[in-house]
Structure 1
Amino acid sequence: MKFIQYFGLLALLATGFSQHSTAEETSATPASPLPRVLLIGDSIRGGYGKGVQQLLNGKAEVVMNSGNAEYTGTGVKKIDEWLGDGKWSVIHFNWGLWDMYGWQYDKEDRSPAKYEERLEVLVTRMEKTGAKLIWATTTPACPEVEKTMRDKFKKPLQITPEIQKQYQDAALRVMNKHKVAVNDLYALMLPDLKKYQNGPDNVHFSGAGYGLLAQQVSKTILQQLDPQPPR
């Protein structure tokens, strides 16, 4: 992904991946008696974030990172800002789509190897908060050529399952090493991708799709907040 200038890629991603990224970010409330949960992610998180806030209302204070977490390089630059000085009970996080779709087109390295390296840095930093960490696997790439690359830049960009697996495997190596809980959103959405994805050339989801994601994310967070004792 080398033939587009960096700022051109940023324009692409802002256009193509910013859908649903305007979910209201909630400011932290230091005095809140509820456990505090931080959601970090891109426009997919933007799509399900409000649903998680509603489902966990009265059970947790759910905060979302400001703006769009984009790719792992942005995460490394902004993670301290997003974590702030407060205490977090759970951090639910993902990076992936921006790394995959920027791999061959951006001058900055977004390869699976660099993705793994940056995730290692990010997980190590988040561990220092003492929060329980949950890795959300990246939702499926669209099965056809991504529409913004096709229509705006006239470049046929398609992320195959084989390419996505390279990123999935890289992420899981980091999560397994650090014993991070995994919320498999990829497996959740894949069987009914045609039903929930906004077309075969779009990585985003319908309202019903985001509702399903919100339910799964909320359930996983509650399991970490109130783990069941072993029987």
Structure 2
Amino acid sequence: MKNKFFLLIVLSIFLCLGYKPKEPKILIIGDSISLGYFPKVKEALASKALVLHNPGNAQHTGTGLEKIEDWVGEEDWDIIQFNWGLWDLCYRHPDSKVYGNRDKIKGTITYDLETYEKNLEELVSFLKANTSAKLIFVTTTYVPVNEAGRHSTDVAKYNAVAKSVMKKNGVIINDIYKKSITIHRKNGLGDKDVHYNKEGYNDLGKLIVPVLQKTMKKL
């Protein structure tokens, strides 16, 4: 009885002082697709977690290796969600007039599959060694057939490599690729663009939130 009475007193004091449980801290690292759905995710989790995105566009895995230490910083993250791929599998040529110098005919790929795999291994190794966060990898989204700098068929290959790395390292995988195809055909920016309109990004956000919520429950 005395122990129960003591616990009730402590609980009452916390409530009177406006005590709130610690909010989970979530870092999202990713490219323009993640920047697009980030507002929807942040809004959906506003009362449950502090959700931040790395500054700017995380681009490809090479950029990740250069900046991952700064992005993680000294913060005690509970969950880190990350994605790379769209930039890695992109072909570019300096003479191309297309935005971003994209050119899948004459261009050079940013990172081949072998290098992509190696870079992901290094990035996951860093995150596991330097944080205690639960890690979530989000697969690369749909690439339309007529996109100037990317082959649509490459996405499945890069996703397969990425999922293999994540499974080996015990990283949670949120595989949104197949659903992104349907979303893009309905709310994408056309058959030459990998991006989405506002409704499309909201739909992608709805694929991200449940996995974050499920992971939060396991913290």
The equivalences for 1:107-122 within 5 A come to: 110-122=111-123
Q: Per the alignment, in what secondary structure is the counterpart of residue 124 of structure 1?
A: helix
With over 3 angstroms needed to count, the CA separation of the structure-2 counterparts of 1:220 and 1:166, relative to structure 1, is same
Which runs of 5 or more residues in structure 2 are unaligned? 1-20, 93-103
Q: Deviations over 1:46-71 (max 9, x none)?
A: 10111111100010000100111000
Amino acid at match of 1:223: K
In structure 2, distance between residues paired with 1:191 and 1:210: 12
CA-CA distance at 1:169 after TM superposition: 1.3
- Counterpart of 1:63 in structure 2 is 52
Higher relative contact order (CA 8 A, sep 6+): 1
- Counterpart of 2:151 in structure 1 is 159
CA-CA distance at 1:173 after TM superposition: 1.2
Q: Deviations over 1:153-182 (max 9, x none)?
A: xxxx44132x22221111011001001111
Amino acid at match of 1:191: T
Amino acid at match of 1:131: A
Greater Rg, structure 1 or structure 2? 2
CA contact (8 A) 2:144 2:194 kept: yes
In structure 2, distance between residues paired with 1:116 and 1:226: 30
In structure 2, distance between residues paired with 1:60 and 1:54: 10
The equivalences for 1:1-231 within 5 A come to: 33-102=22-91, 105-106=107-108, 110-128=111-129, 129-146=131-148, 157-161=149-153, 163-227=154-218
- Counterpart of 2:12 in structure 1 is none
In structure 2, distance between residues paired with 1:193 and 1:204: 8
TM-score, length-scaled by structure 1:
0.75
Amino acid at match of 1:81: D
Identity of aligned residues (%): 35
In structure 2, distance between residues paired with 1:42 and 1:76: 14
TM-score, length-scaled by structure 2:
0.79
Amino acid at match of 1:122: L
**Higher alpha-carbon deviation: 69-78 or 167-176:** 167-176
Amino acid at match of 1:123: V
CA-CA distance at 1:184 after TM superposition: 1.2
CA contact (8 A) 2:139 2:175 kept: yes
In structure 1, distance between residues paired with 2:30 and 2:78: 17
CA-CA distance at 1:193 after TM superposition: 2.8
Count of aligned residue pairs for this structure pair: 185
CA-CA distance at 1:106 after TM superposition: 4.4
CA-CA distance at 1:121 after TM superposition: 0.3
Amino acid at match of 1:127: K
Amino acid at match of 2:136: I
**Higher alpha-carbon deviation: 77-86 or 179-188:** 179-188
With over 3 angstroms needed to count, the CA separation of the structure-2 counterparts of 1:69 and 1:158, relative to structure 1, is closer
Which portions of structure 1, spanning 4 or more consecutive aligned residues, are displaced by more than 2 angstroms? 102-107
With over 3 angstroms needed to count, the CA separation of the structure-2 counterparts of 1:35 and 1:192, relative to structure 1, is closer
In structure 2, distance between residues paired with 1:94 and 1:192: 18
RMSD: 1.9
CA-CA distance at 1:145 after TM superposition: 3.2
CA contact (8 A) 2:88 2:112 kept: yes
